[in-house]
Chains A and B, each alone.
Chain A
Amino acid sequence: MKIRTRIIVISCIMVMISSVTVATVLLWFAYGSMSKEAYAEANKDAYTCFNDFDINIKKYAEIDDLDVYAEYYLKTATDRKTVCINHENNKEVYNSTAIDKESLINRKYKTDQGMGYSYIHYGGGEYIIFQSEYIGKYVLYRIEDVSYVKSNIYKLAFYGVLVLAVVLCITFMLLAILLKRQFIPLQRLKDTTKLMADGMYDVRTDVKRDDEVGELGKSFNKMAEAVEKRDKNLKLFMGNLTHELKTPMTAISGYAQTMLNVKLSEDEAEEALIYICDECKRLERMSKKLMRLLEIENNGDKLEFREIPVNKLFDETIKTCRTVIKGKNINIECEDDGTILCVEPDLMTDVLVNLVDNAVKASDNGGKIELTCSNKLIRIRDYGCGMASEELEKIMEPFYMIDKSRSRKNGGAGLGLALSAAILRRHNVKFSIESRPGEGTIVNLQFV
């Protein structure tokens, strides 16, 4: 069942239960007060009747045939609701009702202000029988009809049910309309989710509300952004990878085909073979680096971290880089405050080698590079050509090369910085680059 239907059904049931309870209580009180009122009225009526009879009978107390007079009086003076019984001879003097003498006498009566009373149900109606005290030798019974109390209550209850039905209908319709409006954003969110599941990562919801649904929409959009970014990075990576694979493949397959199909001179054939060899080596280098990158990304928790003084890392780095440094006659200045870092030494050296190598590439012949460490901050600074800000954004992408043809000739695959960034991520190192064209570049590695 839909949440909307469920809420509507539950609310309707609640409304029904509460209204029925309230109505029942109200009816109960109404019934109580109405019966009391009816009783009081009946009581008054009976009292008046008995009193009048008493006065009249006392006037004629001396006559012999008092029974006849009593009958005559009752027949003319009262409405037909009275029974008169001579209790001396147990004779029914007057009975205008359908109830017989015996059942009247044998009833049990409660007493109230000198009168007995008793409720009786007869023929679907409700009546109160009042019994007088002895008036001379007579006892009077008066039967008062109070059925109207119940029928009034039933009428009220009937109206109540009608009102309840109307209220329920209105509640149902209002809820249906209001909830539908409330659920529109959820429906939209659902549609958007479906689109996203189908691979459209650029969709966003436009749910703008200050409630939980709005928050859900916001976090959905955040999630969508993360997914899209990841997807974009992956696509970019795959695109770059295939491109980088295709280039050597094209050369290798092209030269092989040429050698097969064309009669080449010896020099040309040798040239072709050298190109094939070079491109094969390039593929090999690339696959090695790629494997390394995947390894670091996937098995980062298996790295063995060790405490090592930073100057050891620097020494190792400079040792590895000395040919390129000498080749460009670079003056490299090292300085450290004896910090001890907890790192995977080989990987961290790789990072430093890559960064120093980049710095050397950016520097002019005879330039200066500073390699410093203080307060767990390693800084590599060169005074070379620098980079524009739009290049800064791209250099972290796998396979990005600032000078493609030259980097490739130097054996680069464009994976160096991506690899370094992956290693640094594993070390929880904050990595930032500041650069200005023509002024040089500063790379900061902030260790935690």
Chain B
Amino acid sequence: MSDIRILIVEDEEAIAKMIAMNLKVANYNTSIYYDGSEAADALTGDHAYDLALLDIMLPGMDGFELLDEMKKYGIPVIFLTAKDDIESKVQGLKGGAEDYIVKPFDVLELLVRIEKVLERNQKFSNTEKVLDIEINFKEHTIRQNGHEVVLKPMEFSLLEVLIKNKNIAISRQRLLNMVWGTDYYGETRTVDVHIGQLRKKLDWGEHIKTVSKLGYRLEVPV
């Protein structure tokens, strides 16, 4: 488990647990608060969070007020709320939030946005150990058991996406968009070919799972 800590403040237990479930799978640590003022109180003791996901309409203290608390400790904030009026969005983003996501949201989108915010705020280390490899995102190098594995640029990007979304199934179309870009008119077979290359080069045949009718998932023990 990585040491990235994410604070969730959401008064709906069902939603808070659902987010936590996904974040845990994506290898983040989470703390949940159901009440705004409780969260603010808890911050005075422990504020070593890398990111906060805040609802706006909260009992105790609303999300906008909590945002100011978060700014005190330099914690980047993503609003996660049912309020989709322009005024709230402007207030949230101008107030200093990194992002504003309207409910209901796509779980994968939430994860990608979290990742982008963490990247912007340099919360990731350049290197990460996954299974038997050590990957350096900055230098684009991979070492497996002390030997360097040479990957083509697209293969590396694909591996990066899989690692950053560990344990989550991603469709071929989505992988195509995330790695090759939305303006790439290739076929999804391109993805299959590159996945095949990754499995072969890293000997990860059993780790990169094909999920029927959906796509691929990198399975890492949590």
Contacts and interface: CB of A to CB of B under 8 A. Distances in A.
Interface of A: 242-243, 246-251, 253-255, 257-258, 260-264, 268, 271-272, 275, 278-279, 403-405, 408
Given A243-B83, A257-B107, A262-B25, A251 B14 contact: yes
A246 B82 CA distance: 6
Contact of A275 (B14, B82, B104, B170): B14
Closest 8 A-B residue pairs measured CB to CB?
A246-B82, A251-B14, A250-B104, A250-B103, A254-B18, A261-B169, A257-B107, A275-B14
B97 interface: no
B12 A275 contact: no
B21 interface: yes
A242 B57 CA distance: 13
Nearest to B103: A250
Interface of B: 11-15, 17-19, 21-22, 25, 34-35, 57, 59, 82-83, 103-108, 167-170, 214, 217, 219
Contact of A268 (B21, B82, B170): B21
A251 B15 contact: yes
- Identify whether the interface residues of A are mostly helix, strand, loop, or mixed: helix
A272 B18 contact: yes
A261 B15 contact: no
B162 to A, nearest CB: 13
Contacts of A248: 14
Contacts of A255: 14, 18
7 contacts: A255-B18, A258-B21, A262-B168, A262-B169, A271-B17, A404-B11, A405-B11
Nearest to A254: B18
A278 B13 CA distance: 12
Contacts of B19: 254
A275 B108 CA distance: 19
B21 A257 contact: no
Contacts of A246: 82, 103-104
A253 B82 CA distance: 14
Which of A249, A257, A258 has the largest number of chain B CB atoms within 10 A? Answer: A257
A257 B82 contact: no
A250 B109 CA distance: 13
Contacts of A250: 12, 15, 82, 103-105
Nearest to B57: A243
A249 B168 contact: no
B105 A264 contact: no
A272 B19 CA distance: 11
Contacts of B35: 405
Given A243-B83, A254-B107, A261-B107, A275 B168 contact: no
A42 B69 CA distance: 116
A246 B12 CA distance: 11
B151 to A, nearest CB: 25
Contact of B108 (A261, A263, A271): A261
B15 A247 contact: yes
B49 to A, nearest CB: 22
Nearest to B19: A254
Contacts of A405: 11-13, 34-35, 59
Contacts of B104: 246, 249-250, 253-254
Nearest to B169: A261
A263 B217 contact: yes
Contacts of B13: 405
A249 B106 CA distance: 11
Nearest to B105: A250
Which of B15, B19, B34, B57 has the largest number of chain A CB atoms within 10 A? Answer: B15
Contacts of B25: 262, 264
A424 B183 CA distance: 60
Nearest to B170: A261
Contacts of A404: 11, 59
Given A246-B82, A250-B103, A254-B104, A261 B214 contact: yes
